């Protein structure tokens, strides 16, 4: 099994070197989604690892190691594969046998791109404010409302939509697997983002969208149980993206500091630069170990998985922000220009402190468990 894991990671390294690095900057510049690459990586079996009866002993750990390797090359690609996986997690872990048989094969292989719609214009961190409604209509439901910042909007064929079916609060929300091309679904123009521009994010408006009752994921009014599974996997995947990004920045900044000379020395020999890089290496490794601890907890069904995943998410994403910012500092003026990738990485890192539950929300969740 170790051989199989090694083979998967080596395949990803090969794709990153040959197919990802040459194209990623241009995709980010032109904001074009790399659907073929996403499908190619999904077909290696990444979403299947955490949405299947995988016979790998530690599938979550392998998944995160693979996402980290992808993120070293291109964080938007890693995030897209992560998002695709998240969209399959709800149906895989909570869906009926019929729902799983019908949709999971396409979701796992990326044949149908998919997304998760939780956030709304007025419901961000506080999901009890969700207003999108699903009302009984004939044999099914009718969906109305607006979802905000939907990742994969415009390229997705399926959306997990969390809508109100019961009373107020978190208790009356249900998750539905909705066709993104159904009549009444309107994707608005993509947001102009600071980074990760190749991965589209947009509002999606639902107006009288008919959804059959058998598209409920999990149980009526129990959508937050589905969401909790998605949140745990979400924190782990984002931590892996952040660690890969930080590692890329450290490798790049170290190579530059070894090349660049000022005052008759390579700048890495100045303690102000060398210690910056040393600290980055320590923090990245610490983030990785926190992530692997959380993955082990997930893979062994441990009770502390939510806590460990939140700790890993906060530490890894704060580390990515710090390391990418320091990488710009090490490269000086060059680092501030688009001739080097570090300015893009710094913009990309900011996202991870915000999505999958902001780092303040994670800290609040951690504090409540102390």
Ligand X SMILES: Cc1cc2nc3c(=O)[nH]c(=O)nc-3n(C[C@H](O)[C@H](O)[C@H](O)COP(=O)(O)OP(=O)(O)OC[C@H]3O[C@@H](n4cnc5c(N)ncnc54)[C@H](O)[C@@H]3O)c2cc1C
In angstroms, the Cα distances linking 20 to 182, 250, 335 are 33, 19, 21
Residue closer to ligand X (CB basis): 114 or 277: 114
Residue 343 Cβ, how far from ligand X at the closest point, in Å? 18
Site residues for ligand X, 50-109, by CB under 6 A, read none
Q: Where are the beta strands (DSSP E) in the chain?
A: 114-117, 133-137, 140-151, 158-164, 173-179, 185-187, 201-212, 216-217, 261-262, 265-266
> What x/- string results for residues 250 through 289 when contact with ligand X is judged by CB under 6 A?
----------------------------------------
In angstroms, the Cα distances linking 202 to 113, 184, 260 are 15, 16, 42
Task: Find tokens 């539950």 and name the residue.
Answer: 357
Residue closer to ligand X (CB basis): 117 or 290: 117
Site residues for ligand X, 107-136, by CB under 6 A, read 115-119, 124-125
Site residues for ligand X, 20-49, by CB under 6 A, read none
- Choices 96-104, 145-153, 209-217, 304-312; region in contact with ligand X by CB under 6 A: 145-153
Which three-class secondary structure state does DSSP give residue 150? strand
188 binds ligand X (CB under 6 A): no
Cβ neighbours of residue 130 under 8 Å, at least 6 residues apart? 118, 120, 123, 162, 163, 164, 173
151 binds ligand X (CB under 6 A): yes
Residue closer to ligand X (CB basis): 116 or 233: 116
Residue 35 Cβ, how far from ligand X at the closest point, in Å? 17
Residue 252 Cβ, how far from ligand X at the closest point, in Å? 23
Residue 204 Cβ, how far from ligand X at the closest point, in Å? 10
- Choices 48-56, 277-285, 308-316, 347-355; region in contact with ligand X by CB under 6 A: 347-355
362 binds ligand X (CB under 6 A): no
Residue closer to ligand X (CB basis): 54 or 358: 358
Residue closer to ligand X (CB basis): 100 or 152: 152
193 binds ligand X (CB under 6 A): yes
In angstroms, the Cα distances linking 323 to 67, 278, 282, 305, 345 are 19, 11, 11, 26, 10
For 332, other C-beta atoms within 10 Å of its C-beta total 13
Query: Would residue 356 show up in a list of annotated catalytic residues for this protein?
Result: yes
- For residue 149, is it left (φ>0), alpha (ψ between -120 and 50) or beta? left
Q: Phi and psi (nearest 5°) for 77?
A: -65, -45
Report CA 6 to chain centroid distance, whole Å.
Answer: 23
206 binds ligand X (CB under 6 A): no
- Choices 24-32, 207-215, 222-230, 352-360; region in contact with ligand X by CB under 6 A: 352-360
Residue 359 Cβ, how far from ligand X at the closest point, in Å? 7
Cβ neighbours of residue 112 under 8 Å, at least 6 residues apart? 103, 106, 156, 157, 158
Candidates 19, 28, 61, 356; catalytic one: 356
Cα separation of 342 and 338, whole Å? Answer: 8
Q: Which of 20, 71, 112, 150 binds ligand X (CB under 6 A)?
A: 150
Residue closer to ligand X (CB basis): 33 or 292: 33
* Interface ranges with ligand X (CB under 6 A): 115-119, 124-125, 149-151, 193, 201, 351, 354-355, 358, 360-361, 364
């Amino acid at each position: 099994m170790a051989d199989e894991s090694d083979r998967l990671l080596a395949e990803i390294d090969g794709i990153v070197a040959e197919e990802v690095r040459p194209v990623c900057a241009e995709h980010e510049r032109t904001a074009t989604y790399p659907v073929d690459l996403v499908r190619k990586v999904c077909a290696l079996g990444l979403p299947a690892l955490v949405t299947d009866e995988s016979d790998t002993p530690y599938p979550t750990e392998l998944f995160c190691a693979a996402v980290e390797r992808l993120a070293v090359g291109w964080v938007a690609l890693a995030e897209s594969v992560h998002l695709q996986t998240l969209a399959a997690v709800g149906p895989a872990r909570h869906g009926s046998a019929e729902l799983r048989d019908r949709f999971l094969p396409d979701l796992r292989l990326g044949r149908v791109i998919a997304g998760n719609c939780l956030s709304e214009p007025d419901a961000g961190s506080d999901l009890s404010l969700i207003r999108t409604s699903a009302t009984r209509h004939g044999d099914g439901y009718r969906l109305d409302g607006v979802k905000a910042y939907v990742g994969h909007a415009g390229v997705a064929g399926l959306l997990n939509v969390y809508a109100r079916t019961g009373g107020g609060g978190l208790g009356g929300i249900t998750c539905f697997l909705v066709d993104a091309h159904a009549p009444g679904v309107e994707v608005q123009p993509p947001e102009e983002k600071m980074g990760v521009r190749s991965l589209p994010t947009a509002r999606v408006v639902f107006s009288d969208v008919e959804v059959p009752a058998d598209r409920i994921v999990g149980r009526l009014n129990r959508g937050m149980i589905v969401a909790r599974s998605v949140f745990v996997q979400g924190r782990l995947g984002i931590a892996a993206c952040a660690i890969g990004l930080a590692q890329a920045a450290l490798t790049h900044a170290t190579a530059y500091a070894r090349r660049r000379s000022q005052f008759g020395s390579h700048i890495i020999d100045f303690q102000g630069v060398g210690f910056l890089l040393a600290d980055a290496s320590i923090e990245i490794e610490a983030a990785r170990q926190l992530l692997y601890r959380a993955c082990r907890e997930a893979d062994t069904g441990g009770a502390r998985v939510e806590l460990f995943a939140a700790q890993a998410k906060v530490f890894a994403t704060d580390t990515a922000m710090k390391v990418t910012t320091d990488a710009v500092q090490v490269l000086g003026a060059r680092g501030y220009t688009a001739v080097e990738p570090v300015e893009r990485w710094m913009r990309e890192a900011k996202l991870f402190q915000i999505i999958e539950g902001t780092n303040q929300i994670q800290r609040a969740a951690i504090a409540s468990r102390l």
